[in-house]
Amino acid sequence: MEISFSSTAQYAGQGLEHTCGADLASVSRGDLCWYYFLGRLWISRSGVEIGPSWGWVPLFDAIDSVQRMMTFARGGKGMSSIYFTENQESIDFTRERDVLRLVPSYLDSELICSVEEFAEAGTDFIRGELRRVVSEYPPLVRNSHVREVARSVGLEDLGV
């Protein structure tokens, strides 16, 4: 299973990180999850892709959603759906023992994987995207929300 994120040409430059004077070191968690680092979320396994086709998903909203789904998958009080407020679509998750079923509202397909496989892919996704975005925007290393997310996946040093 792979979870990844990419900036899209159509929405390149639309996030507030491109605003003159944006203070990425102090921007709030809410603002990071709504207005910054827009792109496309990819979720795939064995040739089946269920990520949304639109390219304006905020990176930190995707990270937050994946974290909550990892909590749910492991039996905690996370969310059982990822909701895309941009257009009211979702990916619904159901768990039966150690198997997850991911069903998007916008496609006639689904993914089935183990809880461990999803958790590993989620952790790899979060670590990789944090390293990438912090290397491109070094002031983020001082952002308290970014540091909190990094610690939650075992990243004490973001490499900047």
Kindly report, residue by residue over 98-136, the tens digit of the pLDDT. 999 999 999 999 999 999 999 999 999 999 999 999 999
Give yes or no for residue 160 having a pLDDT over 60.
no
pLDDT, position 83? 86
pLDDT, position 12? 65
Contact 80, 96 (CB under 8 A): no
Give yes or no for residue 150 having a pLDDT over 90.
yes
Among residues 57, 64, 54, 55, which one has the least CA distance to residue 28? Answer: 64
pLDDT, position 21? 74
What is this structure's pTM?
0.90
What H or E segment, with its residue span, contains residue 155?
Answer: none
**CA–CA gap between residue 26 and residue 89 (Å, rounded):** 30
Q: Mean pLDDT, to the nearest integer, of 61-85?
A: 88
pLDDT tens-digit readout, 27-72: 999 999 988 888 889 999 999 999 888 878 899 999 999 999 999 9
Contact 113, 138 (CB under 8 A): no
Mean pLDDT of the chain: 89
Give yes or no for residue 82 having a pLDDT over 80.
yes
Contact 1, 111 (CB under 8 A): yes
